Amino acid sequence: MFRFLIFLTLFLQFHACKSKHIPASAQYHSDSLKYPQERHLKNIRQLTFGGDNAEAYFSFDDKKLVFQATNKMWGVDCDQIYYFDLENWKKESKTPPILSTGKGRTTCSFFMPDNKSIVYASTHEHDASCPHVPPRREDGKYVWPIYPSFDIYHADLKGNIIRKLTDTEGYDAEATVSPKGDKIVFTSMRSGDLELYTMNLDGSNVKQITHELGYDGGAFFSPDGEKIIFRASRPKTEEEIKVYKDLLAEGLVMPTNMELFVCNADGSDLRQITHLGKANWAPYFHPSGKKVIFSSNHASPRGYQFNLYMINLDGTGLEQITYDGVFDAFPMFSYDGKKLVFASNRFNGGGRDTNLFIADWVD
């Protein structure tokens, strides 16, 4: 939900690390896909093999996954939305069904409660071509583009758009659905800043729930639908505020300083739960609803290594979950709490491919 595939492609161009290489013949061996310290993960299975794959999320019945990917072998030039049935997805070279239009850039897909449709964000109505990716900046700032042409759509599993859910000027994306099946939370620029909003499943009854200066995004509901976890930047000094506003005016944000926040589903009782520094993001509630799993580079001396961590909602009990040398992020628990899906650069032979992995979760 962070223009991730742009971010990771550029990131690895400059900071590629070597990983232990696992031969293709061994990639279905669950024990070969985990590190010894990863005691919460068991029976890891690799789901994709090549390209940039991320933001994989379960259907409400835990039988399917929807995700975004960039893979030249699949015949698209930039991020599009795909899905597969977990029970039948076994052939690593097969192209999964595409659910987006194949035009523009898409991101942030999530299943609807009917298990037969999804929401996702796309730029295709503005331009069928892939939007421009900002070049590396001379001032050294690491930035993500916030394309104003993103809007949120509801589509079926044949790729037909059922309804356009947002139609305002500026960025609308990063939509996820409450486990209660009644609300969507998303990020929008409609106020002039990047804030969180909720709406009904048909796009009606839009309500703004965050109001502080900074980029609020990547939000998910708790298992009971009563709380929302998200990551945010919070510029405080005059210099930080100026940098944030100047970049935002260019359609950019700098994602290198983000912390996790939690609030009630209506935005009340907002509080910060991490104070780790660097980039803490991609949070998702543990099935208990009492803690969250997230990705962070806070322990990386130069900020290039991301791993998964878990923390209690009061900010105590920080625990490292994964130990890859490059990148682990975008975790989601299955609705029954038995599985964890995540994106990782583990065991890719030292290349830039980011793949999807699924594991049994062990508390």
* Domains of the chain by start residue, with CATH: 4-361 (2.120.10.30)
Q: Name the residue with higher pLDDT: 3 or 328.
A: 328
pLDDT tier, 91 (very low <50, low <70, confident <90, very high otherwise): low
Q: Give the residues across from 188 on adjacent strands.
A: 172, 195
Question: What is the rounded distance in angstroms from the CA atom of residue 182 to the CA atom of residue 163?
Answer: 16
**Mean pLDDT, residues 5-30:** 42
CA distances from 93 to 23, 74, 96, 234 (A): 15, 10, 9, 43
In this predicted structure, what is the pLDDT of residue 93?
61
In this predicted structure, what is the pLDDT of residue 255?
93
Does residue 357 contact residue 344 with C-beta atoms inside 8 Å? yes
Question: What is the rounded distance in angstroms from the CA atom of residue 59 to the CA atom of residue 301?
Answer: 37
In this predicted structure, what is the pLDDT of residue 6?
47
Counting other chains too, the contacts that 330-334 makes at CB distance below 8 Å and 24 or more residues apart are 330/4, 330/54, 330/55, 330/56, 330/282, 330/295, 331/282, 331/284, 331/293, 331/294, 331/295, 332/56, 332/57, 332/58, 332/284, 333/284, 333/285, 333/286, 333/287, 333/293, 333/361, 334/58, 334/62
**Mean pLDDT, residues 319-347:** 97
For tokens 């130069």, the residue is 302
For tokens 């900002």, the residue is 134
Q: Give the residues across from 87 on adjacent strands.
A: none
Q: Which residues contact 316 (CB under 8 A, 6 or more apart)?
A: none
Does residue 307 contact residue 328 with C-beta atoms inside 8 Å? yes
**Mean pLDDT, residues 99-111:** 97
Which pLDDT tens digit goes with each residue over 291-308? Answer: 999 999 999 998 889 999
Give yes or no for residue 72 having a pLDDT over 60: yes
Q: Extract the tokens encoding 312.
A: 């209690």
pTM of the model: 0.93
Strands (E), 37-160: 41-46, 52-58, 64-70, 80-85, 106-111, 117-122, 144-145, 151-156
The winner for highest mean pLDDT among 15-29, 136-150, 282-296 is 282-296
Strands (E), 142-256: 144-145, 151-156, 161-164, 172-177, 183-188, 195-200, 207-208, 216-221, 227-232, 252-253
